[in-house]
């Protein structure tokens, strides 16, 4: 990446977020509690490396293919193994991919968590799509009046 391309990138990305993403991609098994703002939605969970994301993706996909043929499952496992070979940080310490990965994400919109049809173990997005962030995860507690209204 040229100096000009790097300057253009940092005009569209948050430098400290870029640093933390490089950190989790450089230090194995690092998870950082974080909440991201993306187009008005809050995504709260643990910042994870691209390698961890690909490991979780491989597990999730192969677990969901139990009824498929052994040959098809083997092909998917090989694909997942190839993803693990990708280096997220280059030899100069720069990000090779423009991704932010979150483990155990909870999505919040309008001050409330979004109900999901199934558990979402991982989330991936582009770094330059993140409008802001804060360290820590959101813990949502309902009040007794909200619980009563929901159960009515």
pLDDT in tens, 83-133: 777 776 667 666 667 889 999 999 999 888 888 887 889 999 999 899 999
Which position has the higher pLDDT, 45 or 150?
A: 45
Domain interval for residue 110: 3-151
Residue 116's domain is classified under what CATH number? 2.30.30.100
pLDDT of residue 14: 86
Which residue is it, tokens 């994870």? 48
Q: Is the pTM of this model over 0.85?
A: no
> What is the residue-averaged pLDDT of the chain?
82
Handedness of CA 122, 125, 127, 131 (dihedral sign): negative
Task: Locate the DSSP E strands across the chain.
Answer: 32-38, 41-48, 99-109, 112-113, 122-126, 132-135
Do the Cβ atoms of 10 and 18 come closer than 8 Å? yes
What's the token pair of residue 78?
Answer: 């090989």
Q: Per the structure, how many domains does the chain have? A: 1
Percent of the chain with pLDDT over 70: 81
């Amino acid at each position: 990446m040229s100096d000009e391309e790097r300057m253009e990138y940092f005009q569209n990305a948050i430098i400290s977020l870029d640093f933390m993403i490089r950190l989790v991609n450089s230090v194995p098994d690092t998870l950082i509690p974080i909440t991201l703002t993306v187009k008005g939605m809050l995504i709260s969970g643990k910042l994870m490396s691209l390698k961890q994301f690909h490991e979780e993706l491989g597990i999730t996909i192969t677990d969901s293919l139990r009824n498929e043929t052994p040959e098809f499952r083997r092909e998917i496992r090989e694909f997942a193994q190839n993803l693990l070979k990708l280096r997220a940080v280059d030899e100069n310490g720069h990000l090779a991919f423009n991704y932010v990965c979150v483990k155990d994400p909870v999505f919040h919109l309008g001050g409330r968590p979004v109900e999901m049809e199934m558990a979402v173990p991982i989330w991936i997005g582009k770094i330059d799509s993140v409008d802001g962030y804060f360290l820590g995860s959101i813990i949502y507690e309902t009040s007794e009046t909200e619980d009563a209204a929901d159960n009515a």
